[in-house]
Amino acid sequence: MKREGGFLFEDWKAVLDLPSPSLIGDHQILNASTAIAIAHAQKAVPIPDAAIKAGLGWVRWPARLQNLAGSNLHALLGGGADLWLDGGHNPAAARVLKSYLRTLDPVERSVTLILGMMSNKDVTGYLKSLVGLVDQVVAVDIPGEDGAASPAFLAGAATDLGISGVLAKDVRSALETINEKANPERPPFVLIGGSLYLAGHVLREAKLFPQ
């Protein structure tokens, strides 16, 4: 059960008052609860409650609603802007993004999705969940990936759903254009998403790739 700053977990073995996972999104509480239940069910390795609490704070998952604040890519945006990265590439992943984007104030923040996807993914299914939440899709290629969907196709798919779809040469030029056109009174929330391949490229460029 979610509470302010954390959640309560209860099963046959224990009732635990736990901090929120370090990963972003309410769905991570369900994920954490599932992991704890499995930890309690297995008997091979004893896992104390203290280790479970510590693990919730230590866990890291690059490119899953990862905040790129302070990176060289974030520096391309003006003050007050946010830059996030998510490698999710299917409709289920988009529904998670939908839940998070709903927490933003649409009057105060404009939301731009920099999108790159592989051609074998359900682009329309992914974008459908974001209709009404994303103001603009900036479509980019995925460097070095022959199987990537063309930016023109991605932008067209967004436009067909009523989202403004435009093209950019790459992520860096997309960010520069977003910054040039940004309204300082409505700073942009920028999400780079749609592909783990693209996410890996972005993390390397931002010098945040896990070592």
The arithmetic mean of pLDDT across residues 45-62, rounded, is 76
Place 61 in a pLDDT band, splitting at 50, 70 and 90. Answer: low
In sign, the C-alpha dihedral spanning 64, 121, 130, 139 is positive
Q: What is the pLDDT of residue 170?
A: 97
Contact 171, 94 (CB under 8 A): no
120/178 same-domain check: yes
149 vs 118: CA distance, rounded Å: 5
Place 200 in a pLDDT band, splitting at 50, 70 and 90. Answer: very high
113/27 same-domain check: no
41 vs 34: CA distance, rounded Å: 11
Quote the crossing angle between the two packed helices 49-58 and 27-41, to the nearest 10°.
Answer: 150
114/134 same-domain check: yes
75/170 same-domain check: yes
Decide if 210 is inside a domain: no
180/128 same-domain check: yes
Give the rounded percent of residues in the chain with a pLDDT score beyond 70.
90
Phi, psi of 147 (to 5 degrees): -90, 10
Q: What is the pLDDT of residue 43?
A: 82
Domain count for the chain, please give it: 2
Total-model pTM: 0.78
Residue 200's alpha-carbon distances to 42, 124, 132, in angstroms, are 34, 23, 28
Convert the pLDDT of each residue in 101-160 to its tens digit: 998 998 899 999 999 999 999 999 999 999 999 999 999 999 999 999 999 999 999 999
pLDDT at 39 over 90: no
18 vs 6: CA distance, rounded Å: 6
DSSP β-ladder status, 188-193 and 110-115: parallel
173/135 same-domain check: yes
Least confident range of 3-7, 33-37, 155-159: 3-7
Instruction: Identify which has the larger pLDDT, 59 or 150.
Output: 150
pLDDT at 210 over 80: no
> Which of helix, strand or coil describes residue 123?
helix
pLDDT at 16 over 80: no
The arithmetic mean of pLDDT across residues 13-38, rounded, is 72
46/131 same-domain check: no
Place 78 in a pLDDT band, splitting at 50, 70 and 90. Answer: confident
pLDDT at 82 over 90: yes
Q: Domain of 7?
A: 2-58
For residue 76, what is the DSSP state? Answer: G
DSSP states of 24-38:
SSTHHHHHHHHHHHH
Q: What is the pLDDT of residue 106?
A: 86
Least confident range of 9-13, 65-69, 186-190: 9-13
187 vs 116: CA distance, rounded Å: 23
124/28 same-domain check: no
The CATH number of residue 104's host domain is 3.90.190.20
Angle at 146 between CA 166 and CA 66, to 5 degrees: 60
Give the rounded percent of residues in the chain with a pLDDT score beyond 90.
59
Residue type, 78: G
Kind and range of the H or E run holding 66? strand 66-67
Distance separating the N- and C-terminal Cα atoms of the chain: 35
Mean pLDDT for the chain overall: 88
Rg (CA), the chain: 19
46/148 same-domain check: no
